[in-house]
Chain A
Amino acid sequence: QSALTQPASVSGSPGQSITISCTGTTSDIGAYNHVSWYQQHPDKAPKLVIYDVTNRPSGVSDRFSASKSGNMASLTVSGLQADDEADYYCASYTTTGSLVFGGGTRLTVL
């Protein structure tokens, strides 16, 4: 199973919005609505920010939103704050019952 494709980096200024794309196939993103997104700060464990394509866990800011169309999922972070600077990973359940992650996107807040 190949990794999902994400841009290596994105950046934005405080207060702006950014979108991170995550491209898969008909065997993962395109097959199920079980796409999740994780935020990871340096030397910390990943943190779930989105599950089942669009749902935010309790305690996650509503500045985080996400969507899916076909084989591509997207995460939008609005009203950028300094603490949003982190690595972001998408992940999708697959038709083989496995899980595939994206390669990760480094978000820089300018």
Chain B
Amino acid sequence: EVHLVESGGGSVQPGGSLRLSCAASGFIFSNFWMNWVRQAPGKGPEWVAIIKPDASGTHLADSVKGRFTISRDNAKNSLYLQMNSLGGEDTAVYYCVKDIGYKQFDHWGQGTLVTVSS
């Protein structure tokens, strides 16, 4: 059974940084593109970032480009999201999601809440 477990969320002041982690199990992690998707309170989901199976390439949404970095460690079956220069617009639940092609997501973690506030 596929499990995705996010961690690292919390409260941070504007301009601060956080690093999210996702521990994956139940599938061959190194075979799949992986993504981060976020959902602000009361809003719909927003795709944030994607990384290739071998970590050779990434793509980020315009809203986070230059501030966020997605990475992975296939030896540890782990996905990461480094978030810098955080603003209130980044307040959301962040989900680690498994990709089945063309940014379609068949498994989601339980999410980790990031709150940016002074």
Contact = CB atoms under 8 A, between A and B. Distances in A.
B45 A32 contact: no
Given A89-B44, A98-B47, A45 B95 contact: yes
A104 interface: yes
Contact of A36 (B44, B46, B95, B105): B105
B100 A51 contact: yes
A36 B45 contact: no
A8 B78 CA distance: 36
Given A45-B110, A97-B59, A98-B61, A32 B44 contact: no
B106 A57 contact: yes
A34 interface: yes
A3 B63 CA distance: 14
A87 to B, nearest CB: 8
A51 B102 CA distance: 10
A102 B44 CA distance: 7
Given A101-B44, A101-B46, A45 B108 contact: yes
A97 B35 CA distance: 13
Contacts of B95: 45-46
Nearest to B47: A99
Contacts of A102: 44
B14 interface: no
Interface string A73-110: 00000000000000001010100011111111000000
Given A103-B44, A104-B44, A34 B106 contact: no
A38 B102 CA distance: 15
26 contacts: A3-B44, A34-B101, A34-B102, A34-B103, A34-B104, A38-B45, A38-B105, A45-B109, A45-B111, A46-B95, A51-B100, A51-B104, A52-B101, A57-B106, A89-B44, A91-B45, A91-B103, A91-B104, A93-B104, A98-B59, A98-B103, A99-B47, A99-B103, A101-B46, A101-B47, A102-B44
Given A34-B101, A46-B45, A89-B44, 20 more contacts: A3-B44, A32-B102, A38-B105, A45-B109, A45-B111, A46-B95, A48-B105, A52-B101, A52-B102, A52-B104, A57-B106, A91-B47, A93-B102, A97-B59, A98-B47, A99-B47, A101-B45, A101-B46, A101-B47, A103-B44
